[in-house]
Amino acid sequence: MESTAVLRRFNRTYTQRIGALDESFLGLGMPLASARLLFEIGGAQPVTVQDLRARLGLDSGYLSRLLRGLESRRLVELSPDPADRRRRVAALTESGARLLTDLDDRSDALATRLLEPLSERQRARLAEALATADLLVRAATLEFEVVDPASPNARLAMGHYFAELDRRFEGGFDPGPLTEADLATMRPPGGTFVLARSDGEVVACGGVQSLGEGVGEVKRMWVHDGWRGAGLGARMLRRLEDDAAALGHTVVRLDTNATLTDAIALYERSGYASVARYNDNPYAQRWFEKPLSAPAASTRRPRG
C-alpha cells in the first residue's frame, strides 16, 4: 500500500535526522531509549515502574536494564511506593535533573536547526501535518481493555464523562450516587465495561448493560477532547457493539440528549435508527436502536 511506503520512508528519514540511530543521542553519552526514559521520569511527580512500562510499552526485562543503567550513573533513584510497597517509584537525582535540562535544551536546538531552512508557511504546514500524524499514529496503536466498572481507572473515566455532560447540558448534569447496583449492570453475564488507553493514559470508555433478553444498551461512552477527529468514538462504539453481540445480545439501544449533536451524528452514521422512548432517563431526549450480527466463532470474545 502507498500509505505503508510513505510511513516507512518517513520513519527512516526522521530517525536519521533526529539522531535516533546514534549510540550517543544528542551527544549525551546514552542511546535514545535511555534519554527517553529519563524524560518520562522527569515529571513533577515520581512515577511507578509499572506506569513507565505501560506508558512506553517496554518489555519489563528491557526496562529494568535501562533503569539499572540510569541508576549506575546516579541519574535515577528507585524506592518503594509509599502507597503500595510492592511497587517501585522512579525519581531523578539532582544529576539526573541537570541532565534532563541539558536534554531539553539540545532537543530544542535540534528542532530549531531542522525548522530553520523552512519558511513560516512551510513551518505551519509541517506543524499541522505532524500534529495530525501524531494523533493518527496514537489512534492506530491504542489498546482496548475490559475492566471492572468499579476499578479506579473506570471510575476516573466515568468521572470525565459526567463532567463533560455537566459542562454541555443547559442546567448541568447530576449523575446521582454511583452505586454498586449500577456498576453490577456493566459486568458479565449481561454487561461489560471497556477502556481505551494510549501510552498508559485512559482516553475513552464505554459500557454495555442488559435491558432484557437479547437487548443490550450502550452506556457512559466518553472520548477525551484531545482525541476528537481521530475516529475513536466510532471505534469505541463498534467495540461495544461487538462485545454486546458476544454477550448474546441481538439488539443494542442507547439514549442521548439533543444537545450532543456530534454523538447523534455518529449514531446515525453507524446505522442506528430513532425509536420511541424506552426508559425514564430525565436527561434523555433521543432514543436509538440497532440490530446486531452474531460474531463469528473466531472473533467471539470471552464472557469472563
Segment 245-266, tens digit of pLDDT: 999 999 999 999 999 999 999 9
Can you tell me which residue has the cell 448474546?
248
pLDDT at position 86: 84
User: Is residue 237's pLDDT more than 60?
Assistant: yes
Q: What is the mean pLDDT of residues 42-49?
A: 83
Question: Domain coordinates of the chain in residue numbers?
Answer: 3-117, 143-291
Work out the pLDDT band at 302, boundaries 50, 70, 90: very low
User: Is the Cβ–Cβ distance between 54 and 47 less than 8 Å?
Assistant: no
Which uninterrupted H or E stretch holds 206?
strand 201-212
Work out the pLDDT band at 1, boundaries 50, 70, 90: low
Work out the pLDDT band at 44, boundaries 50, 70, 90: low
A 10 A CB-CB count for 246 gives 18
- HSE of 44, CA atoms in CB hemisphere, 13 A: 0
C-alpha–C-alpha distance, residues 181 and 183, integer Å: 5
Q: What is the mean pLDDT of residues 185-212?
A: 95
Strands 286-291 and 251-256: antiparallel
Name the architecture of domain 143-291.
3-Layer(aba) Sandwich (3.40)
- Cβ neighbourhood burial of 171 (10 Å; 0-12, 13-18, 19+): exposed
User: Is the Cβ–Cβ distance between 177 and 126 less than 8 Å?
Assistant: no
- Cβ neighbourhood burial of 185 (10 Å; 0-12, 13-18, 19+): middle
Contacts of 299 (CB under 8 A, 6+ apart): 242
pLDDT at position 151: 96
Share of the chain above pLDDT 70, in %: 96
Residue 187 main-chain phi, psi, to 5 deg: -125, 155
Strands 143-146 and 286-291: unpaired
User: Is residue 106's pLDDT more than 70?
Assistant: yes
User: Is the Cβ–Cβ distance between 263 and 285 less than 8 Å?
Assistant: no
User: Is residue 177's pLDDT more than 90?
Assistant: no
Q: Which of 112, 101, 110, 108 is nearest to 15 (CA)?
A: 110
Q: What is the mean pLDDT of residues 157-169?
A: 96
**Intrachain domains 3-117 and 143-291 with the same fold:** no
Q: Which of 101-110, 114-123, 135-144, 230-239 is predicted least confidently?
A: 135-144
User: Which amino acid, 302?
Assistant: P
pLDDT at position 97: 94
pLDDT at position 301: 53
pLDDT at position 228: 85
**Please, where are the H alpha helices in the chain?**
2-17, 32-41, 49-56, 60-72, 94-115, 120-141, 152-168, 180-184, 232-246, 261-269
pLDDT at position 199: 85
What is the pLDDT of the chain when averaged over all its residues?
92
User: Is the Cβ–Cβ distance between 252 and 271 less than 8 Å?
Assistant: no
User: Is residue 300's pLDDT more than 60?
Assistant: no
Residue 291 main-chain phi, psi, to 5 deg: -75, 145
Residue 216's DSSP bridge partners are: 210, 252
User: Is residue 277's pLDDT more than 50?
Assistant: yes
**pLDDT tens sequence across 83-103:** 788 889 999 999 999 999 999
Does the domain at 3-117 match CATH 1.20.1640.10? Answer given as no
